[in-house]
């Protein structure tokens, strides 16, 4: 029997929703036909994929033919950057991004730099925001693509994507946003955001792992991701993950229906946790902008050790993340915490607590008590 845990790392992944699970079953068991084949067993899976495409398009304000299914957020991010960078073989591409992006963007940028493409990394302010002026300056050099995330996965900061995208367009650049932490949790509409490309991942909104999509605005010139069959209009070859795609659409529908309620609930839970920690007299700072993903908390405890806190909480049955990536000997402050320029006495004590709909008020009170029992005097 698994130990009963308090799971508070929903930015890492979320549990599969029962509705998504139910929706997936027929495509794993009875309707196993390959959607690309010509006989009748293929008809239903093919229809299911197109229904899912319509649902997802409807939720984010896109046309169905602008939704391309991928194996998740990493693949969508890689495709957006590589696909645009290599779409103009006669011209050298330039990409502008920020230094708080997920590694799916940053490591793709490093690869592109090795391939001779220019990449400019924008700094952020102390709450993790990219400023319009900083972007404007960067765009004085002709730029193919700007890629700035919608919601940060460590500190939850929401970027002013519509304003950034509009500025990029004024300078003739395309705009991509990594919306992996946002889709399903806050209203995301590609027309309102004015983006040309947008990445998303099902397992961040209670869908299955290994399923995601890239929105590509009609008319955008992009290189295919995978070469092979004619799936996804010839842009992403490979037999489709039918159950994953259907489960993703079902999970997204559920979130759409309850979004406002969820946003209010998660904000309340996060506020409760913060006030309990304050009441306990602990010295800490909450990282990120005032406008953050609901339920997302990056907390830096003064003179704390985030790694130690994570492991001590784990022993008590509570699962959270740190703000730092560590190698075996040396705790390294994460690139996001570094980028916001937090002071040394706080940075090493950073943890990320990301709450979800399966969390309760009693659980966040328990987390606060546990943290106090570890860090309090
Ligand atoms: N982008 C962001 C902002 C993320 O938080 C993640 C996952 O943590 C990814 C991309 C990668 O998504 P996936 O796990 O679906 O590959």
Coil vs helix vs strand at 97: strand
Angle of CA points 125, 184, 4, to nearest 5°:
95
Q: Which ligand 1 atom lies nearest to the CA of residue 12? A: 8
Predicted pLDDT of residue 217: 98
Alpha helices in the chain (DSSP H): 18-28, 43-60, 73-85, 103-114, 132-138, 161-170, 190-193, 242-279, 306-315, 335-339, 344-347, 361-375
CA of 73 to the centre of ligand 1 (A): 5
153: number of Cβ within 10 Å? 26
d(CA 9, CA 109): 27
The preferred substitution site among 73, 186, 211 for testing ligand 1, maximizing ligand atoms within 8 Å of CB, is 73
185-220: pLDDT as tens digits: 999 999 999 999 999 999 999 999 999 999 999 999
82 lines ligand 1 (CB under 6 A): no
Residue 350, burial from CB neighbour count under 10 angstroms (0-12, 13-18, 19+)? buried
Both tokens of 292, joined, read: 């953050």
**Atom 10 in ligand 1: residue holding the nearest Cα:** 73
CA nearest to 8, candidates 377, 276, 365? 365
**Ligand 1 mean position to 5 CA, how many Å?**
23
Structure confidence by residue, pLDDT tens digits, 74-118: 999 999 999 999 998 778 899 999 999 999 999 999 999 999 999
- 109 catalytically annotated: no
Contacts of 76 (CB under 8 A, 6+ apart): 70, 180, 199, 200, 201, 212, 213, 214
Q: Which residues of the chain have pLDDT under 50?
A: 1, 324-330
Total residues belonging to the chain: 377
167 within ligand 1 shell (Cβ under 6 A): no
Neighbours of 142 (CB within 10 A): 13
Check 326, 331, 366, 374 and give the catalytic one: 326
Q: What is the pTM of this model?
A: 0.96
Distance (Å, whole) CA 372 – CA 376: 5
């Amino acid at each position: 029997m698994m130990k009963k845990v308090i799971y508070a790392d929903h930015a890492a992944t979320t549990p599969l929703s029962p509705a998504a699970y139910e929706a997936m079953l027929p495509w794993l068991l009875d309707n196993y036909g390959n959607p690309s084949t010509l006989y009748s067993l293929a008809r239903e899976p093919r229809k299911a994929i197109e229904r899912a495409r319509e649902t997802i398009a409807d939720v984010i304000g896109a046309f169905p033919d602008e939704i391309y299914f991928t194996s998740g957020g990493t693949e969508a991010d890689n495709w957006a950057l590589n696909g645009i960078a290599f779409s103009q073989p006669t011209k050298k591409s330039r990409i502008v991004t920020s230094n708080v992006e997920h590694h799916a963007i940053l490591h793709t940028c490093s690869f592109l730099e090795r391939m001779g493409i220019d990449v400019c990394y924008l700094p952020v302010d102390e709450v993790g925001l990219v400023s319009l002026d900083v972007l404007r300056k960067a765009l004085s050099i002709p730029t193919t693509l700007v890629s700035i995330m919608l919601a940060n996965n460590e500190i939850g900061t929401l970027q002013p994507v519509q304003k950034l995208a509009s500025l990029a367009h004024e300078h003739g650049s395309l705009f991509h946003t990594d919306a992996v932490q946002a889709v399903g949790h806050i209203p995301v509409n590609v027309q309102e955001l004015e983006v040309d490309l947008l990445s998303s991942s099902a397992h961040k909104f209670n869908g299955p792992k290994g399923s995601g999509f890239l929105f590509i605005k009609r008319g955008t010139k992009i290189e295919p991701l995978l070469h092979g069959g004619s799936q996804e209009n010839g842009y992403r070859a490979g037999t489709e993950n039918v159950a994953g795609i259907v489960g993703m659409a079902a999970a997204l529908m559920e979130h759409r229906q309850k979004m406002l309620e969820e946003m209010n609930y998660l904000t309340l839970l996060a506020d409760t946790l913060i006030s309990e920690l304050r009441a306990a007299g602990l010295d800490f700072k909450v990282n990120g902008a005032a406008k953050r993903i609901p339920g997302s908390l990056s907390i830096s405890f003064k003179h704390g050790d985030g790694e130690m806190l994570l492991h001590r909480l784990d022993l008590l049955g509570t699962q959270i993340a740190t703000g730092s990536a560590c190698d075996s000997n040396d705790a390294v402050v994460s690139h996001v915490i570094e980028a916001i320029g937090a002071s040394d006495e706080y940075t090493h004590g950073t943890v990320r607590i990301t709450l979800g709909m399966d969390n309760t008020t009693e659980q966040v009170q328990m987390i606060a008590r546990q943290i106090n029992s570890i860090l309090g005097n």
